[in-house]
Amino acid sequence: MLDILGRVFGREEAPSKEIAKERLRLVLVHDRATVSPQFLELIKEEVIGVITNYMDVDEEGVEVSIHNMERSVALVANIPIRRMKRAVKAV
């Protein structure tokens, strides 16, 4: 009964600090998820550059995208591998 009265009179609300923190997190997730195609292409080129030190890849078939997930953003890369390299280049 006291629980219901507390909610009616506003005593059970989430602290404003927590509300502000959640709003900021949502804004940051949104900002991270909205990137230009040029930015994605740059990421793709850099990922290919690193991976080709270890394996031969089909560069034409590489796909890189950013997906919004429930509470985060994910970078998803589909990289077709032709073969693994036996000797690794010194970086």
Mean pLDDT of 54-66: 88
Strand pairing report for 63-68 and 55-57: unpaired
CB neighbour list of residue 83: distance below 8 Å, 6 or more residues apart: 55, 56
Residue 77 has pLDDT above 70, yes or no: yes
Total domains in the chain come to 2
Q: What confidence category does residue 87 fall into, taking pLDDT thresholds of 50, 70 and 90? A: confident
Mean pLDDT of 45-55: 90
**Claim to verify: residue 30 and residue 40 sit in the same structural domain:** no
**Claim to verify: residue 50 and residue 86 sit in the same structural domain:** yes
**Claim to verify: residue 26 and residue 41 sit in the same structural domain:** no
**Claim to verify: residue 44 and residue 65 sit in the same structural domain:** yes
Residue numbers of the domain that contains 21: 1-34
Structure-model confidence comparison of residues 30 and 62, the more confident one: 62
Residue 10 has pLDDT above 60, yes or no: no
**Claim to verify: residue 53 and residue 86 sit in the same structural domain:** yes
Task: Give percent above pLDDT 90 in the chain.
Answer: 16
